Structure 1
């Protein structure tokens, strides 16, 4: 794994970042080790954004970003930006699939954990579109023997198509074939203007328009969006192809997932549905684990406890933070999100212990 970038390539990186590669898929990586034995969080960004949404840009206030608060809790952070049209990437991969990215991100994470001698569990957090890759990442992570009790979704879409509005006329694309989620010739798009208002709501300006354009937004491989029929002539992009790429119905391959959702009406889908949507998938995962045990729980009362656990999961693994799609940016939101991450990491670890006890032969 690895690349040897030229100085021209390095011009697009922050001093804390470096290029990595696995399975032919490059990524921008940021790594900060935590306290020995503490969890290492793996930050995966959403559509049109670099993973800097988790750790900030030059001149920003550290306390406005998750990394600052995760470090206070002793947690490490590996933040990975998927290949986009950012100038640091020498090769363009506009047709990158969710499976490609999930496999590469897991392999990169495993290599960083190994080479840096990091100890403790690994817990990926995925924001927005990154939730599409949870199943693929989980499968690849198991093959790499990562110690991973589960995932945490930050206003994230699961690997289920049909949850994002698809424009009948298709999405806008760059000449290189990327989904146009970055700047256009006129500057910030209406989409990004809306995101910037979301970032800066109720606060002093956290990220100004110039910094947002320079350090955060990029054009995105369209298949990572996890929706079919995004562009006329795009091969392998039917509904069936998308379902196969996402692994939508491969419930045994899903991780148990903690949820942190927003509250504001401007992100109504996540505010209203995340608890139920991820709760459904967690219950399917629980049933898959039960089925794989190949027998009724043997302990007295274990069946009743398993049923009670199934009823509890949607609320036990869900937390809310005041805000909208960028609720985790800004001092208060970042601090609260970090506390919820710490709590959900414990919940996911406890859940693994409980499941092993209840399903013991």
Structure 2
């Protein structure tokens, strides 16, 4: 299905942004064409953020402080999609938006850009923070649409396993029906200020611009604390949310490359991300590569079996890349440049890992 573009429908868009409707919901999309032979990098942000966090564009912004600039240097086409949140970039509020809608929206827009611009049919999906909830929905949508996911990258992202963040946190509902967590903004601004200090002291995103143009209230369905939006209320339903995220669809995940940061300001991600995503990567091998292809392990022979064991056990190292920094590790010139290089490495590593599994199992793999 083609996306619908609403040129001029909004008055608060940055240069290069367009308002679109995809999967039945509004989105703000930013696209820059690169080398058609390279995979399209598709980025979607974490909780309460516009995708602008990856390309900037506000008054006074330096392109070098944002990931898009450095991906352009490497020839990648770049698509950044903002899901509906309560900022001046969106005319309507859609608190019923789910992770399944999110995944379909990302792929629908990506597929349209691929077709319109003659790009290869391959994408790299980069999901930040809360974006971990869209890993399985976006992969499922890509398979349905015939789009090939080269790798999905965790930008300090959290999987949708119930209770992984908290089983007890409850979120305030704004009059819009969206979830409101404005007290979090101060901590995010502190991390951005730290990044500014590490990049010559210049402001990357001034506080007032950040608060009014980069963040806003959003659907509680994406938060990951078990609350869902039903008939104008927040209701606790961990299983419904886990199902929406595909938390237990262990046979239907992509290989996930983990970008590991290091600062105590983002301690939970620093300590847990590799282990969290390794669960899914190993089960991709067990449930999708082996069981899904009806591989008879007893017929591999001793040498191939040992190689399979070694490669599977080594996935946490092979598919983890250190990028340093805090939760906003990709914002600011130094971190943005380093992250673009890490995306190059993530593509190469995933291709190599997949090729090794194909050699061991003697079958082609997605």
1:5-61 per-position Cα deviation (integer Å, ceiling 9, x unaligned): 374x32121121012222212210001112131121100100010000100123211
Distance of aligned partners of 1:14 and 1:222 in 2 relative to their CA distance in 1, 3 Å threshold: same
1:319 aligned counterpart, secondary structure? strand
Give yes or no for the alignment of 1:282 onto 2:281: yes
Distance of aligned partners of 1:6 and 1:315 in 2 relative to their CA distance in 1, 3 Å threshold: closer
The count of residues paired between Structure 1 and Structure 2 equals: 352
In structure 2, the residue matched to 1:119 is 120
| 1:354 CA displacement | 2.2
Distance of aligned partners of 1:190 and 1:243 in 2 relative to their CA distance in 1, 3 Å threshold: closer
Q: Runs of 5+ in structure 1 lacking a partner? A: 182-188
1:122-181 per-position Cα deviation (integer Å, ceiling 9, x unaligned): 00000000111100110110111112122000000112121223555x212210111114
The 1-side partners of 2:192 and 2:41 are apart by 22
The farther-off stretch of 305-314 and 110-119 is: 110-119
Q: Runs of 5+ in structure 2 lacking a partner? A: none
In structure 1, the residue matched to 2:185 is 192
Check the 8 A contact 1:57/1:215 in 2, yes or no.
no
| 1:68 CA displacement | 1.0
1:28 aligned counterpart, secondary structure? strand
| 1:290 CA displacement | 1.1
Distance of aligned partners of 1:120 and 1:111 in 2 relative to their CA distance in 1, 3 Å threshold: closer
| 1:90 CA displacement | 3.3
The farther-off stretch of 321-330 and 298-307 is: 298-307
The 2-side partners of 1:4 and 1:279 are apart by 38
1:270-328 per-position Cα deviation (integer Å, ceiling 9, x unaligned): 10111111111100111111112212366652221111111110011111222111011
Check the 8 A contact 2:125/2:153 in 1, yes or no.
yes
1:102 aligned counterpart, secondary structure? helix
The farther-off stretch of 48-57 and 29-38 is: 29-38
In structure 2, the residue matched to 1:323 is 325
In structure 2, the residue matched to 1:186 is none
The 2-side partners of 1:256 and 1:110 are apart by 20
Give yes or no for the alignment of 1:31 onto 2:24: no
| 1:237 CA displacement | 4.2
Check the 8 A contact 2:18/2:29 in 1, yes or no.
yes
In structure 2, the residue matched to 1:211 is 209
Check the 8 A contact 2:228/2:237 in 1, yes or no.
no
1:43-102 per-position Cα deviation (integer Å, ceiling 9, x unaligned): 010001000010012321111111111111111110000012223333321121111111
The 2-side partners of 1:141 and 1:215 are apart by 30
The 2-side partners of 1:162 and 1:222 are apart by 15
The 2-side partners of 1:5 and 1:141 are apart by 24
In structure 2, the residue matched to 1:93 is 94
For residues 110-259 of structure 1, what are the structure 2 equivalents within 5 Å? 110-119=111-120, 121-165=122-166, 168=169, 170-181=170-181, 189-201=182-194, 202-203=197-198, 204=201, 205-229=203-227, 234=233, 237-259=236-258
In structure 2, the residue matched to 1:21 is 21
The 1-side partners of 2:162 and 2:92 are apart by 28
2:173 aligned counterpart, secondary structure? coil
Distance of aligned partners of 1:237 and 1:105 in 2 relative to their CA distance in 1, 3 Å threshold: farther
The alignment's TM-score, normalised by the length of structure 1, stands at 0.92
1:202-242 per-position Cα deviation (integer Å, ceiling 9, x unaligned): 33221111221232111111101122137897466411111
The alignment's TM-score, normalised by the length of structure 2, stands at 0.91
Distance of aligned partners of 1:280 and 1:167 in 2 relative to their CA distance in 1, 3 Å threshold: closer
1:14 aligned counterpart, secondary structure? coil
Give yes or no for the alignment of 1:359 onto 2:361: yes
The 1-side partners of 2:330 and 2:295 are apart by 42
* Structure (1/2) with the larger strand percentage: 2
Distance of aligned partners of 1:82 and 1:14 in 2 relative to their CA distance in 1, 3 Å threshold: same
Check the 8 A contact 1:47/1:128 in 2, yes or no.
yes
1:267 aligned counterpart, secondary structure? helix
Check the 8 A contact 1:196/1:209 in 2, yes or no.
yes
